[in-house]
């Protein structure tokens, strides 16, 4: 790492590595292009990085297990029945309506689409949504902010219509956002609807929540890039996309299982022990 080499960089380029090799006397001369070619052949790219979320919940496996089981239609070791449903829910917060100060230009031969950089802020809204894991149905509402009451309205939207109204059990998978965190949230949900069961993901583990996949699709297809004259136009576009997506949606092909989770946690634990030993 650059810090261990006492270099003022956050990451090393191929040219940085070439200079360091010469400075250490490893070689009399070498180009950055040669370094890049050698490392690329070995799939070592110190100039690249990606974000990573460290599992910091001490009970990560115990909390993640039930979520992963539900994705395989299992609850407490028993297969779900035909009157059981699994919903993944969350909020996408602070979606800004940005009015571009000049119109964009479409794609042309030899020129990509152009979007004006400058914009005026026209406010922001939150989008609360729930995804039926097995049926590939999405439900959503746009609100001025997040909170218990907006989440309650989302739950009402789902639970007052069939087949959820007559279901035996409806499992609600959520993260640990303030609208649905802890035992109080589970109690509230069961008071609203006795057949609704709250299933929280571990802390800092939204990646286990399938609704985030839908949010990523929304971000790519609707919100990047975007320009909206006002909040009403933004809300209309989001809800129209939701209706459109309903017509083409398929259940997400979720492959990460409890066995995969055990392997990942074991590897992380081993790496942590190695770092402590060093």
Q: What average pLDDT does range 2-11 have in this prediction?
A: 84
Residue 247: pLDDT band with limits 50, 70, 90:
very high
pLDDT (tens digit, 9 = 90+) per residue, 35-78? 999 999 998 888 888 887 777 788 888 999 999 999 999 999 99
Distance of CA 36 to the CA centre of its chain: 32
Q: What is the pLDDT of residue 206?
A: 87
Examine the domain organization and report whether 36 and 136 are in the same domain.
no
The mean pLDDT value for 128-155 works out to 96
- Is 266 among the domain residues? no
Q: In angstroms, what CA-CA distances link 188 with 110, 192, 194?
A: 57, 6, 10
* 26 token code pair: 């490893």
Query: Based on the domain organization, do 65 and 33 belong to the same domain?
Result: no
Report if residue 142 sits inside a domain.
yes
Domain CATH for 159: 3.30.420.10
* pTM of structure: 0.85
Q: Within this chain, do residues 214 and 165 fall inside the same structural domain, yes or no?
A: yes
175: left (phi over 0), alpha (psi -120 to 50) or beta: beta
Shared domain check, 131 and 35: no
Same domain (yes/no): 64, 168: yes
- Residues 86, 28 share a domain: no
Q: What are the φ/ψ torsions at residue 165 (nearest 5 degrees)?
A: -60, -35
Answer whether 61's CB lies under 8 Å from 262's CB: yes
- What is the rounded radius of gyration, in angstroms, for the C-alpha atoms of the chain? 24
Cα distance between residue 57 and residue 61, in whole Å: 9
Please list the residues that pair with 88 across neighbouring strands.
Answer: 131, 173
In a domain, 118, yes or no: no
Would 239 be classed as within a structural domain? no
Q: Is residue 236 part of a domain?
A: no
Domain count, the chain: 2
Residues 21, 143, single domain; the answer is no
Q: Which domain holds residue 189?
A: 60-90+127-226+251-258
Contact between residue 237 and residue 228 where contact means Cβ atoms under 8 Å apart: yes
Specify if 35 maps to a domain. yes
């Amino acid at each position: 790492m650059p810090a261990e080499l006492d270099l003022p960089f956050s990451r090393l380029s191929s040219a940085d590595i070439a200079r360091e090799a010469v400075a250490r006397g490893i070689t009399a001369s070498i180009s950055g292009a040669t370094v890049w070619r050698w490392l690329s052949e070995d799939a070592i790219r110190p100039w690249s990085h990606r974000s990573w979320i460290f599992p910091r919940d001490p009970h990560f496996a115990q909390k993640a297990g039930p979520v992963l089981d539900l994705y395989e239609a299992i609850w407490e070791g028993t297969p779900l029945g035909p009157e059981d449903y699994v919903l993944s829910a969350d909020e996408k917060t602070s979606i800004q309506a940005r009015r571009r100060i000049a119109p964009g230009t479409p794609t042309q031969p030899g020129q990509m689409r152009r979007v004006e950089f400058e914009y005026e802020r026209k406010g922001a809204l939150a989008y609360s949504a729930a995804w039926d894991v097995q049926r590939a149905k999405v439900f959503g509402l746009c609100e001025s902010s997040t909170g218990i009451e907006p989440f309650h309205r989302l739950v009402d939207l789902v639970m007052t219509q069939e087949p959820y109204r007559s279901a035996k059990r409806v499992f609600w998978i959520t993260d640990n956002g303030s609208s649905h965190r802890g035992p109080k949230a589970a109690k509230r949900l069961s008071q609203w609807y006795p057949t609704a069961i709250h299933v929280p993901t571990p802390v800092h583990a939204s990646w286990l929540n399938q609704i985030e996949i839908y949010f990523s699709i929304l971000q790519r297809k609707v919100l990047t890039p975007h320009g909206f004259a006002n909040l009403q136009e933004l809300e209309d576009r989001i809800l129209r996309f939701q209706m459109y997506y309903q017509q083409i949606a398929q259940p997400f092909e979720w492959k990460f299982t409890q066995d995969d989770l055990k392997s990942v946690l074991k590897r992380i634990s081993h790496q942590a022990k190695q770092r402590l030993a060093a």
